Structure 1
Amino acid sequence: MSEFTLLRELKATSGQKVDPKAQKITREIVQLNLKRGKWWGAGLTGFWAFLVLVSSIDHLGSRFFPNAAMKTKKRIGQSAPVRLLRKYVTMPALLNGKHTTRNFIGGVIPTRFESIVIFCYFVLVVLSEAVNYEYYSKSTRFTQKRVQMARYVGDRSAIVTVFIVIHTFLFAGRNNFLMWLTGWKMSTFYAFHKWLARMAIFSAFVHTITMFEVMHWNGSVKYIKSEAWWRWGAVAMVSGAVILFQTFPYIRARLYDIFLYFHIVLATFWLIGMWIHVADLGYGPYAYATAAIWVFDRILRLLKISTFGIRVAHLELVSEEMIIMTIPSVAFIKRPTPGSFGYVYFLDGWTFFQSHPFSVIIEQNTVKFLIKGKQGITRKLFKKLYELPNHKCSINICLEAFYGEYRPAYAYNEVIIVGGGNGAVGLYEYIKDIEAKRQQGKSNTRFVKFYWIIRHWQSIDWLYPELKSLQEYDYVEPIVYVTRYEEGKVGDRFAYAQEATSAKSSLTNEVELKEEAKDEAIEEVLQDDTNAIKDESPELLIKAESFVERIKNDLPHVTFRSSRPDVAQLIHEDIEEAGPHENIAVLSCAINQMCDDVRRGVAEEVGAARSGRIDLVELLQVW
């Protein structure tokens, strides 16, 4: 690259007589500043490379050599500094014990470890653009000190921005290969992506402001404002400014679909603008690398969709609460691991291009998803099924799968599972995985405690087959907390189980709610189940008690408890009961606050002096 390429705005100064020695020194300082920009960019890349290397050794070692990895981690984890590091740095939430719980503007606060990583990277970015500048009073290009220093900052910040953009696009992809290497959750990479994107935009602002001031002071704006590289640089900056505003959590949460597609369009214009802006300066390959990362992710998405093709999915609304979607006769290229999820495209109407992530249950060659009717397409499906006589229908779908980070829970002596609502889906798959490894003689797990927290008794209906199957596993203790235990809101499975049609009608009349209460029940489900039914008749409550007894008799291996549990206290008690020598894995996937309580409880426990290892596996993904 010619150094004069970067000085096109100084055409008016060409032809002037200069001191050869001063000209040489000036050229060397300019070139050194450009090299330092690349060195700092390489250092920023090395920062992530180091974190990925350490995490990959830990994750891949645990996955492929679980027993050896467990012995190593136990030995290392017994030292006091490591225990304190895990308790106060790598495990807890950043502030107030809240990580997955959204803050007052609708955003998610990264964990303490994620926040430290982001902060360290931010410090490196600031240093990369703030230090190692050399002022030369006899410069043949920049006679004024302010022009000279501003130009150096402008050149350096441009190069650093290009490196940050590469990392930003890499962390945004669903098919980011670093997920497989590190075992970090997708939400962790998305947290890094968001903060790196902000740094890239602000770094680009530094470049824009300093370079504009240089051109303004030199009076060279009139020479370059009509050139393509200038105009497309402006397009990139405007796109970045809109992205910065558009990603405000409140807007993102309320208008997600609009946010998503505008975000893709704006990112495209940012990338095109950056490419045209830097192409003639010798930095085009950096833009190509960024585009390659993005295109590679999109191609893999299409390949995953084409692997499954267009499938017919069968949908059923269960107990007016949950949609069970099954896709039969799936030929797997690679079976999903526990905790996996897939993106479903519903080919029904103009929203066919939208994808929605759901955790998966695999039963032989059948893929099953449990879908809660919340907003958008899932709410429309809920209403559609509710209006059908048998609450069933079939629909064409495409499936982009599978995603998710697998952890070898079978390597631990005891596994504590905390699930809430349909969050129990991925957790149940871990129990199946432990059983499969036990059959192969590879599992170290001697005991599993499975806590499932639900609001009403009717939720038993849609996870009934899975709960029933746990009766075969004598080492699994299922405990179900029904937070509205006394309301007796029982689903159809136990209200009408094994009844003939006529008997079912009779029973329906016998235990039917008052019409007003029934309407409230329907409205409750449509409004995300936020209000309880409070006006059942005494006769109904009596009948409901008999249905609850039917549930308990049918699931004798399950312990049912009322009220909402203190999960942090439960974890403490279970760890105390297990003893200090046991290796314990705590798995969670529930509502945001409950997952944060689990994280808080585990963070407290890992600081205690014990010979066994305690690890947290949080399946809930929030971004």
Structure 2
Amino acid sequence: MTSGECRAGDTAWLTKCAADNVPLSALQLFWEESSNGDPSIQSKWDYVTTLSHISGEPKEAPVDEVLNTTALFSEASWTTNYGVLTIFTEFQFVTAKYGIAILMTGFATPIVLTVLGHLPFMTGASDKLRHYLVYPSVIGTYHVRPLPFNLGNSPTIGHAIFILFFLTITVVLTGVSIHSTQPHSFFTKYQEIMNLTMLRTGINAFALPLVILFAGRNNALLWLTNWSHSTYTLLHRWIARIFGLFTTVHSILALMTYKDIGAYPVEEKLPYWIWGSVATVTVSIMLVLSGLYLRRAQYEIFIISHRWIYAAAAVWMFDRLMRVGRILKNGMRRARVTAVGTGHVRVDVNGIRWSGEPGRHCYAYFPTLKPLRPWENHPFSVMPTYMLQLSTAGLTFFIRKSAGLTRYLETNPSLPILLDGPYPNNATSSIMECDRVLLIGGGIGITALLPWKQAHRNVKLAWSVKAADSALIDAIHPALDTLPAVDKDVRIGNRLDVRALLESEEAKGWGKVGVVVCGPGGLCDDARVAVVSMRGRGVWVLEVDAYSW
């Protein structure tokens, strides 16, 4: 292949690029960017100077001969090239529109479904559809609990429909409007179709803004819809897999096309090919490193492996700026850390004046625990401190010590802490509309449930604690004492029978019952299955406050 340096200094080539009936400004721009195939190499003459070196009437360019004189394209060659380039320009325009359509599908669908759910005639239908779409899992009773061998988290049927819909739209818009234009200046029909499909998959792979948007804590869709952060996190993972699939297909088609036309030995040395290969390999590595088995084992490695791609994303920057803004607003605080038994700690942060609304969580940073990794943070459900003791302002959360940062938490009267929050878990309006709210918790899941006690006039609490964690009951008892004995069921060392709890509430004749569950994955999934099994037996609304990382 002729190099840019060769074209830039070759008189025959430069004078051959001259043209008539085109504005001089357009010709000069083409000259600077494309005349020698490499815009970084300056040709020996500008366009006007080149014209002055054309003498006499150029003849038609010879076929299959070395070009060493000023020559004209043949009419047939010009017509073919013009047709090919015109249609290719239209193809690029259509492809760009399809790429935007894919992004808008992912962004607008949650908004449209939220608006539909608020229409007057949809109220009854929404209550019924929840039992068929929102609550049931695609695979058995797994949702919050990971699948065997940590293969991941099963989506609900509603999640699966969205994922399948998005994948279908993406595949359809990848395959339509791809047409062969023969005769072609460069490709056979087979090569042309492969090349166009390669280009289309490359553009449509860039669902990247959605991948980043859905992962953000400050995702604008959290404000515009009633979908939860955990839902968007799950969809983030699936759209990332689709993005990875199309990236891989794009790269394979590019390799096949350029090998078929014999250009691969030249193309593989060009910067775009090298960096495209790097990107493909990186995406493949990220898909592997994002598996649940690694997220659970080495969460920090998982986070670091994502950072290369965030830097280029405006959505990522907005999310991070919002996080910093929330942290600065809350300021550097001092937390009082108190041991609760051997496996838990209570963390009290004075002076925080957040509302006592239920369904809120925050991300806590303990920068002095691991000074070399001060960015580490974890989400925790929060409750107002005044629910446990006399206090004018402050918040409290309970933490189970496990692997990672939390294992370093020990009794400390003044531990530096940064807070990013508060953030909503799920929309609370549907629960607040219920006649009765059943709170089901396990272990430190009680933290997320207690604020509901103040928010709703008619609640019942069912809470189970392992025998080894019974110290939690003593730590929580001031808040428990405000509930009538008939409306609380606290068990030590015994599992809750969720189905029996629901049937008990059904027997009392409530018209609409809300079920809020927070605790281990098994308990959350049991509650989901139990609520689904109650369809047709009154109206049930489920909210699961859980983090499925």
TM range (shorter): 0.7 to 0.9
Q: CA deviation at 1:336?
A: 6.0
Query: Secondary structure of 1:174's partner?
Result: coil
Question: Which of the numbers 108, 111, 115 marks the counterpart of 1:53?
Answer: 111
Query: Secondary structure of 1:251's partner?
Result: helix
> Which whole-Å CA distance do the structure 1 matches of 2:348 and 2:84 have between them?
70
Question: Which of the numbers 90, 97, 100 marks the counterpart of 1:42?
Answer: 100
Q: CA deviation at 1:160?
A: 0.7
Partner of 1:96: 140
Query: Secondary structure of 2:548's partner?
Result: coil
- AA at the equivalent of 2:465: I
> Which whole-Å CA distance do the structure 1 matches of 2:403 and 2:142 have between them?
24
Partner of 1:529: none
Question: Which of the numbers 234, 240, 253 marks the counterpart of 2:283?
Answer: 240
Under a length normalisation based on structure 1, what TM-score does the superposition of the two structures give? 0.71
Do structure 1's residue 183 and structure 2's residue 226 form an aligned pair? Answer: yes
Do structure 1's residue 128 and structure 2's residue 176 form an aligned pair? Answer: no
Partner of 2:446: 424
Q: CA deviation at 1:72?
A: 5.0
Runs of at least 5 residues in structure 2 that lack an aligned partner in the other structure: 1-28, 39-62, 387-391
Question: Which of the numbers 458, 464, 471 marks the counterpart of 1:453?
Answer: 464
Do structure 1's residue 192 and structure 2's residue 235 form an aligned pair? Answer: yes
> Which whole-Å CA distance do the structure 2 matches of 1:323 and 1:86 have between them?
37
- AA at the equivalent of 2:482: S
> Which whole-Å CA distance do the structure 2 matches of 1:347 and 1:326 have between them?
17
> Which whole-Å CA distance do the structure 1 matches of 2:427 and 2:448 have between them?
11
Partner of 2:346: 324
Q: Give the length in aligned residue pairs.
A: 474
> Per chain length, whose mean CA-contact separation is higher, i.e. which structure has more relative contact order (CA < 8 Å, sep 6+)?
1
Cα pair distance change 1:236/1:622, threshold 3 Å = same
Question: Which of the numbers 199, 202, 216 marks the counterpart of 1:173?
Answer: 216
Query: Residue deviations 1:64-122, cap 9 Å, x none?
Result: xxxxx7x7554435xxxx83x43333321111121111112212111111112112212
Query: Secondary structure of 2:380's partner?
Result: strand
Q: CA deviation at 1:213?
A: 2.5
Between stretches 127-136 and 585-594, larger displacement belongs to 127-136
Cα pair distance change 1:87/1:329, threshold 3 Å = closer
Do structure 1's residue 480 and structure 2's residue 498 form an aligned pair? Answer: no
**Alignment of structure 1 residues 410-421 onto 2, 5 Å:** 410-421=432-443
Q: CA deviation at 1:583?
A: 1.9
- AA at the equivalent of 1:367: L
> Which whole-Å CA distance do the structure 2 matches of 1:293 and 1:588 have between them?
32
Identity of aligned residues (%): 24
> Which whole-Å CA distance do the structure 2 matches of 1:215 and 1:75 have between them?
57
Partner of 2:495: 564
Q: CA deviation at 1:246?
A: 1.0
Does structure 2 retain, via aligned residues, the 8 Å contact 1:304–1:400?
Answer: yes
- AA at the equivalent of 1:453: S
Do structure 1's residue 341 and structure 2's residue 361 form an aligned pair? Answer: yes
Do structure 1's residue 215 and structure 2's residue 263 form an aligned pair? Answer: no
Query: Secondary structure of 1:397's partner?
Result: strand
**Alignment of structure 1 residues 358-397 onto 2, 5 Å:** 358-362=380-384, 363=386, 364-381=392-409, 384-385=410-411, 392-397=412-417
Does structure 2 retain, via aligned residues, the 8 Å contact 1:322–1:462?
Answer: no
Query: Residue deviations 1:270-309, cap 9 Å, x none?
Result: x76xxxxxxxxxxxxxxxxxx1101101111111111112
Question: Which of the numbers 185, 208, 233 marks the counterpart of 1:140?
Answer: 185
Question: Which of the numbers 577, 586, 592 marks the counterpart of 2:508?
Answer: 577
Do structure 1's residue 400 and structure 2's residue 420 form an aligned pair? Answer: yes
> Which whole-Å CA distance do the structure 2 matches of 1:76 and 1:194 have between them?
29
Q: CA deviation at 1:323?
A: 0.7
Does structure 2 retain, via aligned residues, the 8 Å contact 1:571–1:598?
Answer: no
Does structure 2 retain, via aligned residues, the 8 Å contact 1:26–1:136?
Answer: yes
Do structure 1's residue 595 and structure 2's residue 521 form an aligned pair? Answer: no
Query: Residue deviations 1:325-379, cap 9 Å, x none?
Result: 101122x4x6363121111111223242210111101134111111111112211
> Which whole-Å CA distance do the structure 1 matches of 2:405 and 2:114 have between them?
37
Q: CA deviation at 1:617?
A: 1.0
Query: Residue deviations 1:134-178, cap 9 Å, x none?
Result: 122312332x1221011100111111112x111111111111011
- AA at the equivalent of 1:51: T
Partner of 2:389: none
Partner of 2:535: 606
Partner of 2:59: none
Under a length normalisation based on structure 2, what TM-score does the superposition of the two structures give? 0.80
Query: Residue deviations 1:201-248, cap 9 Å, x none?
Result: 221122222223322233334544444333322221121111022112
- AA at the equivalent of 2:215: A
Query: Residue deviations 1:447-499, cap 9 Å, x none?
Result: 3211111122433112112112335xx9x8111122x2xxxxxxxxxxxxxxx
Do structure 1's residue 159 and structure 2's residue 203 form an aligned pair? Answer: yes
Does structure 2 retain, via aligned residues, the 8 Å contact 1:341–1:360?
Answer: yes
Cα pair distance change 1:606/1:181, threshold 3 Å = farther
- AA at the equivalent of 1:231: I
> Which whole-Å CA distance do the structure 1 matches of 2:432 and 2:88 have between them?
58
